[in-house]
Structure 1
Amino acid sequence: MVVILSAVQGFFDNYGDPRTKDWFLMSSPLPTLCICAAYVFTVKVAGPRLMANRKPMELRNVLIVYNLFQVLFSSWLFYECMMGGWWGEYSLRCQPVDYTNKPSTIRMVNICWWYYFSKFTEFMDTIFFVLRKKDRHISTLHVIHHGVMPMSVWFGVKFTPGGHSTFFGLLNTFVHIIMYAYYMLAALGPNVQKYLWWKKYLTSLQMIQFLAIMIHAFQLLFIDCNYPKAFVWWIGMHAVMFFFLFKEFYKQQYSKSSKQKVSNEKKMTANGVSQLPNGYSKQSDYYINGNGLSRPDLVHRATAGAH
């Protein structure tokens, strides 16, 4: 085992970009892998157990500040990515990695690392779901999306920080500006929420993003470009996976059958209480309280004559 680990580490040292070799978390993939594993364990096991007998936390102000931070952070990442190459210097058709130490090149390398770091800050999306007991939102899609991204971006920063693959980060940060702006507005309460009719278009935007990344990546399979084919497949298949995951999510959330199911559930609900066939009742999945937040209620209560 020691021999294998030494060989793997030797591969990273010999073939990794020397400019990022000694940067924080970049010497080995193990720290990133461990952080991602800890994230999955926390949001799927430890967190729900911790909150099982506790009331959902009211985090309205925290969510507003957090989402504002993400809007500003994503805006800065997008701007730096543009200034680092995509505003005129980079080519959409073929952009090899520049391994020199030119100021503009180092600027792009730096922003690649900060984009990698941003994936850890996004873990808080799920942590807040856990603390607010919104377990329905902690879907397989959500956990895979957040859990895989840091490890995926780590390889990019390690071997190809810059060039063709940064198109992924460019589009992703742009989408996140809009996405976190939506979440921030939603956290402001019902007076603002009534204007957020465009929620489903966020999912459409995500799918368009991954479709564009697929086309941009896979075009290099048909043209001569000095860019590693392994990373073409890595980025392209990554986009394919997330495209179909988001497509399935869209289908489940916004198809006619799903809307009909929601409509039927609403008809069964009166004064916030849904009647269940086993003689029990429960409060609706959410209600709007005094501060405008939605909060799930997982407490089942016996009806008056049940026991």
Structure 2
Amino acid sequence: MTIINEWFKERFPKYRYALKHADPRTQNWFLLWNDPSGVIFLTLCYLLFVYFGPRVMRKREPLRVPSSMLFVYNLGLVAVSLYMLEEILVGVYQSGYSLVCQKLNVSRKPSEMKVTNALWLYYVSKAAEYMDTVFMIIRKRFTQITFLHCFHHSSMLIIWWIVMTWIPGGQAWFGPTLNCLIHVMMYTYYGLSAIPSLRDKLWWKKYITLFQLIQFGIILIHSMQGIVFGCEYPLWGQWLLGGYMIMMLILFINFYFQEYITRSNERKRPKSHLKIDNDEKTTSRQKDSYSVPKTLSLTYFNMASNKRKEPATDDSDVLIIRPLGAGQEVGRSCIYVEFKGKKILLDFGIHPGLSGRAALPFIDNTIEPEELDLLLISHFHLDHCGALPWFLNKTNFKGRCFMTHATKAIYKWLLSDCIRV
């Protein structure tokens, strides 16, 4: 690890100078060591896992992570966030910190060290939060691995290595305090959502993102006012924290707008009727919320013999799977799932190597993208979702694609925020 540090010292004289002025209190602390090698190594490992993980998992079944493990993991992060919040607030109060401007104090007073220790734990927790992405990848929740998600997780560790190496205190206390409070709410939500019986009862995910936006705005204002009014805290540190908040604010505003505003407006638009099978029967989309069906009824359709077995009942609590009325000339069966008026596409006709509309031959003749609530894809030879961005961009549901075998897609699914098989 010291090779990286020595390389920096040889090529960047200002880096050598900067290390001489690092905070002496934290030089030998875990994951700091007055050396960026550890944090660079962890960040590179994280980014490589983000890149190669989905490619390795794409042809494999998702790992079954027990709900109890996810619950304990998220509950642990809630407990750590509460502890850090308490330690920072107590240390700030005992040290007599100013809410508006607090200069850096490198003393080893117990109250001052309480703040510094809490900020170090906050920094280390950013490495532990890499497990968020690990769980997403091994469970094949690839749609959750956005640029915002990866950038935020990887950059926070680097930003806070810089803070903890040179300016671990003073004005830097404010951001982590708000962030710990947000993380208590966020990981409480994730922990509860790991419990299947509670998943459909959680209504406040949207507000977590809203609170995150408010948090970034407040931290940005706090940083900018320190710059404007000449706070004694190092100016470069205030610009570092303030500039990072600007980036986070832009990315989260874009996410919030795309996730909750645009899709909400699209869902409010009137929908056309949908054709079912080969006749003129139509069904209006209903507003029922998803729930697990009581029984399962299959329409068996064989392309070779053209024989089908109709479901015994059309009850609203029965999951009905029927073949599509068009697009079957592609040589494979194309079917959609209907449950309480919801249209969920389960397609066997997607051709590997194609893109856009060419990869989705059923669209022009049957169901338009904006008429679907959920997309489930199964094909033994389709090993990537490369053909789907065009489709997902035109849909009104929360875009989810899930690659799996057909039988497992039918028998092992749960309707919730996203498909789980």
User: Which deviations, in whole Å up to 9, do the C-alpha atoms of 1:110-134 show, x marking residues without a partner?
Assistant: 1111111000000000110001101
* 8 Å CA contact 2:206, 2:260 repeated in 1: yes
2:72 pairs with 51, 65, 70, which one?
Answer: 65
Note the C-alpha offset of 1:55: 1.0
Is the alpha carbon distance of 1:20 and 1:5 closer, same or farther for their aligned partners in structure 2, counting shifts above 3 Å? farther
* 8 Å CA contact 2:216, 2:248 repeated in 1: yes
Q: Name stretches of at least 5 consecutive residues in structure 1 with no aligned partner.
A: 298-307
Matches within 5 A, 1:102-251: 102-189=109-196, 191-251=197-257
**Take 2:417 and 2:56, find their aligned partners in 1: how far apart are those partners?**
22
Q: Which residue of 1 aligns with 2:361?
A: 278
Note the C-alpha offset of 1:91: 1.0
Question: Under a length normalisation based on structure 2, what TM-score does the superposition of the two structures give?
Answer: 0.64
* 8 Å CA contact 1:132, 1:295 repeated in 2: no
**Take 1:148 and 1:66, find their aligned partners in 2: how far apart are those partners?**
22
Which one has a bigger Cα radius of gyration?
A: 2
User: Which deviations, in whole Å up to 9, do the C-alpha atoms of 1:249-292 show, x marking residues without a partner?
Assistant: 00111114455269879958525434684149845747884798
User: Which deviations, in whole Å up to 9, do the C-alpha atoms of 1:129-162 show, x marking residues without a partner?
Assistant: 0011010000000000001000001111111111
Q: Helix, strand or coil for the counterpart of 1:273?
A: strand
For these two proteins, the number of residue pairs brought into alignment is 295
User: Which deviations, in whole Å up to 9, do the C-alpha atoms of 1:4-54 show, x marking residues without a partner?
Assistant: 3473552243110011111122221122022112101101x2211221221
**Take 1:185 and 1:2, find their aligned partners in 2: how far apart are those partners?**
45
**Take 2:338 and 2:416, find their aligned partners in 1: how far apart are those partners?**
20
Q: Which residue of 2 aligns with 1:46?
A: 52
Is the alpha carbon distance of 1:188 and 1:87 closer, same or farther for their aligned partners in structure 2, counting shifts above 3 Å? farther
* 8 Å CA contact 1:112, 1:161 repeated in 2: yes
**Take 1:123 and 1:68, find their aligned partners in 2: how far apart are those partners?**
16
* 8 Å CA contact 1:95, 1:163 repeated in 2: yes
**Take 1:206 and 1:3, find their aligned partners in 2: how far apart are those partners?**
38
The amino acid of 2:19's aligned partner reads D
**Take 1:194 and 1:291, find their aligned partners in 2: how far apart are those partners?**
9
**Take 1:3 and 1:170, find their aligned partners in 2: how far apart are those partners?**
34
Q: Which residue of 1 aligns with 2:29?
A: 23
Identity of aligned residues (%): 32
**Take 2:151 and 2:8, find their aligned partners in 1: how far apart are those partners?**
30
Question: Under a length normalisation based on structure 1, what TM-score does the superposition of the two structures give?
Answer: 0.86
2:87 pairs with 80, 83, 95, which one?
Answer: 80
**Take 1:160 and 1:78, find their aligned partners in 2: how far apart are those partners?**
19
* Higher relative helix content: 1
**Take 2:401 and 2:166, find their aligned partners in 1: how far apart are those partners?**
46
The amino acid of 1:273's aligned partner reads L
Q: Which residue of 2 aligns with 1:300?
A: none
2:16 pairs with 7, 10, 14, which one?
Answer: 10
Q: Which residue of 1 aligns with 2:281?
A: none
Q: Helix, strand or coil for the counterpart of 1:141?
A: helix
**Take 2:416 and 2:227, find their aligned partners in 1: how far apart are those partners?**
51
Note the C-alpha offset of 1:56: 1.2
**Take 2:179 and 2:259, find their aligned partners in 1: how far apart are those partners?**
22
* 8 Å CA contact 2:414, 2:420 repeated in 1: no
The amino acid of 2:338's aligned partner reads A
Q: Helix, strand or coil for the counterpart of 1:255?
A: helix
* 8 Å CA contact 2:9, 2:15 repeated in 1: no
Is the alpha carbon distance of 1:2 and 1:290 closer, same or farther for their aligned partners in structure 2, counting shifts above 3 Å? closer
